Chain A
Amino acid sequence: MSVGTVDKPDVKKAAEPLLSKRRKKLVTDPLNDDNPITVQVLGICSALAVTVQLEPTMVMGVAVTLVVVFSNVIISLLRNLIPNRVRIIVQLAVIATLVTLVSEVLKAYYFNMYKMLSVFVGLIITNCILMGRLEAFAMGNKPYDSMLDGLGSGLGYTWIILSVAFFRELLGSGSLFGYPVFEAMGIQNFPTNGLMVTSVGAFIILGLIVWVQRTLTGYVEH
């Protein structure tokens, strides 16, 4: 790639191991200490909207992770070619293309999920996590690091929305991935909580997760 000119000083140093401490931190940081949802408070809209059940949440998490990883790599590869004045538009074009591809593939092979997630797949485009990572990281770092960074953010997003969906589906519908857990345990007529099916339930669960996590990590808002 012809993007090496700016990075020359790095090339002369001994090659960094593929999973050095710094690189591991790129992946692990967003999982907890710098989580996109609970700490940076980005991507809340979709976290509230799609987390009624685990299955669509899983699909959403995979979709966001794929898009953020690939857009990070693409923007990172192009970072020395992109004119500064149109960089936001270029970033958006890359994200929008990837999201449209994901949405078209879902429509072809996973129509049920496509209908269930409806606009929220398209709305990945406006998910601040993506633009945030491109602007803050991929524009200034090499492709491999950007990939790790994207993976970290994607997984950080996914595990939080999966935890929210776990509680919402369990308490709201009495099932997990559509499997009736309480009936299987022999508890008939489990009183499902209607609040959990509405977005209000998501707010409460997410708030509790943020609380627990910040108590554990000692993170304080400045």
Chain B
Amino acid sequence: MRQSNAYIIIFSTITTVLVGGLLATASQVLKPAQERSMELDTKRQILGAVMQLKPGDDVLKIFDDRISSLIVNYKGEEIVRTSNTGDTILAEDLNLGREFKAAPEERAFPVFIFHKEGSDEVEAYIFPVYGRGLWDNIWGYIALETDLKTIKGARFDHAGETPGLGARITEGEIQNRFIGKKMYDNAGQFVSVRMLKGERNPSDKLDEHHVDGLSGATLTTKGVNEMIQNYFGYYDAYIQKLKNQTAS
């Protein structure tokens, strides 16, 4: 009886329903905790671009104290995004992946402003970037100094790059290669910062607009280059506006 087709079909059906039900319940029960974890992780990454976080730091409190945020469009104008229920969406809650699907002219671009401790003085500007890696989407947070051209720090993350190859963009050693590089040349022209093909490039190739690449992950680095180039292109109008403000 145990080997009959009918038994097998019934057995499989019951197994499927049980397993499916269990996983669906688990997913629902754990969802709030997972969302909290992800919010914490996003804020940790944003702060990670501008400061060294120590274990035990209250990330949420530091974020609240020192970061102010706004949303701009590609023309550099400040805009307000509302959710379906009519609430204003904060820049840190904006779903960059969803914005990425829209045409650049319709996207909302969050900007985070990092203030000096206990004052309103600006210490750095943090610009989120988003793009395609080799297997899935990649994103990051790039912080510029107050001169609005030198990179103060960078954080990258990914959804599905190959561990040990493309996934290395999450490593501090790789991200630190971006520190001190320049987004704009001396004439104020936007040139972006690119990762080279291959690793251990001779230092004469690594000028202020180039960083050493990742061996075995050329397509991921290409994704990183495109992502930075595109997004800083979109942020350009806002950055020029900021520069004019600070100049005057």
Indicate whether A and B interact.
yes
Q: Which chain A residues have a beta carbon within 8 Å of chain B's beta carbons? A: 49, 81-86, 89-90, 93-94, 97, 100-101, 104-105, 107-109, 111, 114-115, 118-120, 199
- Interchain CB contact (< 8 A) of A101 among B3, B11, B23, B37: B23
Beta-carbon contact of B3 and A109 below 8 Å:
no
A–B pairs, 15, beta carbons within 8 Å: A81-B2, A81-B11, A83-B2, A85-B8, A86-B12, A90-B11, A90-B12, A97-B19, A104-B30, A104-B34, A108-B37, A111-B38, A111-B40, A119-B163, A120-B163
**Provided the pairs A83-B8, A111-B37, A111-B41 are in contact, do residues A104 and B19 lie with their beta carbons within 8 angstroms?**
no
Least CB distance, B165 to chain A, in whole angstroms? 11
- The CA of A93 and the CA of B15, in the complex, are separated in Å by 8
Least CB distance, B2 to chain A, in whole angstroms? 6
Residues of B within 8 A of A108 (CB): 30, 33-34, 37
- The CA of A101 and the CA of B8, in the complex, are separated in Å by 26
Beta-carbon contact of A105 and B30 below 8 Å:
yes
- The CA of A111 and the CA of B40, in the complex, are separated in Å by 9
Residues of B within 8 A of A86 (CB): 8, 11-12
Residues of A within 8 A of B27 (CB): 104
Least CB distance, B19 to chain A, in whole angstroms? 5
Residues of B within 8 A of A104 (CB): 26-27, 30, 34
What are the interface flags for B20-59 relative to A under an 8 Å C-beta threshold, 1 for contact and 0 otherwise?
0011001100100110011011000000000000000000
Q: Which 4 A-B pairs have the closest CB atoms?
A: A108-B33, A111-B37, A108-B30, A108-B34
Residues of B within 8 A of A118 (CB): 163, 167
- Chain A at the B interface: SS class: helix
Beta-carbon contact of B41 and A82 below 8 Å:
no
Residues of B within 8 A of A97 (CB): 19, 22-23
Interface: B164 (CB within 8 A): yes
Residues of A within 8 A of B34 (CB): 104, 107-108, 111
- The CA of A49 and the CA of B30, in the complex, are separated in Å by 28
What are the interface flags for B86-130 relative to A under an 8 Å C-beta threshold, 1 for contact and 0 otherwise?
000000000000000000000000000000000000000000000
**Chain A residue with Cβ nearest B164:** A199
Beta-carbon contact of B41 and A115 below 8 Å:
yes
Residues of B within 8 A of A90 (CB): 11-12, 15
Residues of A within 8 A of B167 (CB): 118
Q: How many residues of B contact A (CB 8 A)?
A: 24
Residues of A within 8 A of B40 (CB): 111
Q: Counting chain B CB atoms within 10 Å of each CB, which of A82, A97, A105, A119 scores highest? A: A97
Least CB distance, B209 to chain A, in whole angstroms? 28
- The CA of A114 and the CA of B22, in the complex, are separated in Å by 21
Beta-carbon contact of B19 and A109 below 8 Å:
no
- The CA of A101 and the CA of B21, in the complex, are separated in Å by 12
- Interchain CB contact (< 8 A) of B11 among A83, A105, A111, A115: A83
**Chain A residue with Cβ nearest B35:** A108
Least CB distance, A109 to chain B, in whole angstroms? 6
Least CB distance, A203 to chain B, in whole angstroms? 14
- The CA of A9 and the CA of B50, in the complex, are separated in Å by 70
Residues of B within 8 A of A83 (CB): 2-3, 7-8, 11
Least CB distance, A19 to chain B, in whole angstroms? 32
Beta-carbon contact of A107 and B23 below 8 Å:
no
Residues of B within 8 A of A49 (CB): 163-164
**Chain A residue with Cβ nearest B34:** A108
Least CB distance, A169 to chain B, in whole angstroms? 15
Least CB distance, A49 to chain B, in whole angstroms? 7
- The CA of A49 and the CA of B163, in the complex, are separated in Å by 9
Residues of B within 8 A of A109 (CB): 33, 37
Q: Counting chain B CB atoms within 10 Å of each CB, which of A81, A89, A108, A111 scores highest? A: A108
- The CA of A84 and the CA of B170, in the complex, are separated in Å by 46
What are the interface flags for B198-239 relative to A under an 8 Å C-beta threshold, 1 for contact and 0 otherwise?
000000000000000000000000000000000000000000
- The CA of A105 and the CA of B29, in the complex, are separated in Å by 10
Q: List residues 164-194 of chain B with CB under 8 A from any CB of chain A.
A: 164, 167, 170
- The CA of A17 and the CA of B26, in the complex, are separated in Å by 37
